[in-house]
Amino acid sequence: MNAGKLLIPPLLALGCALPGVASAQHVQVVDAWSRPTTQGMDVGVAYFTIRNSGKSDRLLRASSPVAKSSELHVSTMKDGMMRMEGLAFVDVGSAPVAFEPGGRHVMLIGLKRPLKEGDVFPLTLIFANAGQVQTSVRVRGIDGKDKGHPASPGAH
């Protein structure tokens, strides 16, 4: 038997278990991360990028067991002030959709415990067509960096 064929299933399983990467059908969620929170903070945030190689889809909502509720939000600059607004949904076409500091993000409301650097927690994204996509979110440093590696573009 070919040794390469024996390695494929374990390697596929490992790929599915890597923090920050998840996919369902043609939708893939990559580079999922968060920032640490301090004791007493009851809100957190999740960032990631959605890639879609299939037909257009729509992100409807998100959930995570680390928070009582999760909401889709966007931060925008208006009249010289940063404002945050809730989003009913986010359209996902063929171009990557970034959830990043200063833009779209998932707001984690009613944190059940502080998020500490190095923690990994589950996040479920619900799409109109792809259904549920579960990913793992890694808590990076307050500056958005992960153990000495550069942060995602815009992470400052």
- Domain span at residue 120 reads 19-139
CB atoms within 10 A of CB 23: 17
Distance CA 74, CA 6 (A): 45
| Spatial separation of the C-alpha atoms in residues 102 and 146, rounded to whole Å | 19
- DSSP 3-state of 17: helix
Residue 119, CA distances (Å) to 47, 87, 99 in order: 15, 27, 19
For the entire predicted model, the pTM comes to 0.78
Residue 151 lies in a domain: no
pLDDT in tens, 73-115: 999 988 999 999 999 999 999 999 999 999 999 999 999 999 9
What is the total residue count of the chain?
Answer: 156
What CATH number corresponds to the domain at position 49? 2.60.40.1890
Q: How many domains does the chain have?
A: 1
- 54 within domain boundaries: yes
